[in-house]
Amino acid sequence: MTLQLINPTSAEGWRGDRGSAWLKALDGYEAMLLPLGEALFERADLLPNQSVVDVGCGGGWTSRMAAAFVGDQGQVCGVDIAPMLINEAAKRANGTANLSFICADAGVDPLPAAPFDRMISRLGVMFFSNPSAAFAQLHALLKSGGQLDWAVWAPPADNPWMGGVRPIVERHIDLAPVDPDAPGPFSLADHDKLHTLLSNAGFGSIDIAEWRGPIAPGGHHDPHQAADFALESFSFGPPFDDADPAIRGKVRADLVGFFSGFRVDGQLALPAKAWLVSAKA
């Protein structure tokens, strides 16, 4: 039987199983992504009184941070396609006056508070089924001269926290191939492709800078816990989900060994690389 191309991070996936899986592991993801989020905000340098749209806001950490930067006279709108994540984001915002959330597809749906002064996104813009059309829509969400600041993953080879995990799974299980052009965490990893998409959508002053830093899967520094996080939170599709428990145990053992190789002074420090993107409408 030929395995079909999979796309677990499609819009439908985020509205369903993928969104639920992210919610379940939300605190682990936030701990893992904290260094990248801090780098994004240092580069963005949001100012008081600005209006900001946060695309793919997930559980809302980035939205809450933006709300603190723009202050009481500013406004932040967090947007995500996953209803369960929007609900959690609103819950965690705890009634913050200058922060609101909308469940919508920011690459398709108009937003009532647009146009905005600024746009941020930490890993939320790699999942559009039609990125050319979506980027044009995002351009329309900004005022003339408005600025975007995004973080997107660089190629899998530079991100062994995830890029190194799949080959280990494939030693034991025949996984369906992944379409590199389909929505997914590495769909914007090609620097030139990303620049072209932004330029074609009408953005100028495009600057794509490299970020590198160590991360720990799920925020865990124990290789066993990191392996459990990867197997529970990353999506490998039905071939892995339906595999015999003994086979899954072998995968876990190999992952523990893999992650153990990245321990530094008792801490897990897997290399990560992302692009920090800025551009103006």
With a cut of 60, say whether residue 60 has pLDDT above it.
Answer: yes
CA gap 271, 160 in Å, rounded: 7
Per-residue model confidence as pLDDT tens digits over 242-260: 899 999 999 999 999 999 9
User: What pLDDT is recorded for position 180?
Assistant: 78
Q: What is the average pLDDT value for the chain, to the nearest integer?
A: 93
Alpha carbons 71 and 79: distance in angstroms, whole number: 19
The Cα-based distances of 195 to 41, 135, 137, 188, 211 in angstroms read: 21, 11, 16, 9, 16
Tokens for 127, please give them. 């999942």
Q: What is the mean pLDDT of residues 135-139?
A: 98
pLDDT for residue 24 is more than 90 = yes
Confidence at residue 237, expressed as pLDDT on a 0 to 100 scale:
75
- 200 has pLDDT over 80: yes
149 by Cβ neighbours in 10 Å (0-12 / 13-18 / 19+) ranks as buried
% of the chain residues with pLDDT over 90: 85
**All structural domains of the chain with their residue ranges:** 11-155+177-214+272-280
Beta strands in 87-246 (DSSP E): 99-103, 116-122, 142-153, 204-215
Asked if pLDDT for residue 4 goes beyond 80, the answer is no
User: What is the average pLDDT across 183-188?
Assistant: 93
User: 11-155+177-214+272-280 has which CATH code?
Assistant: 3.40.50.150
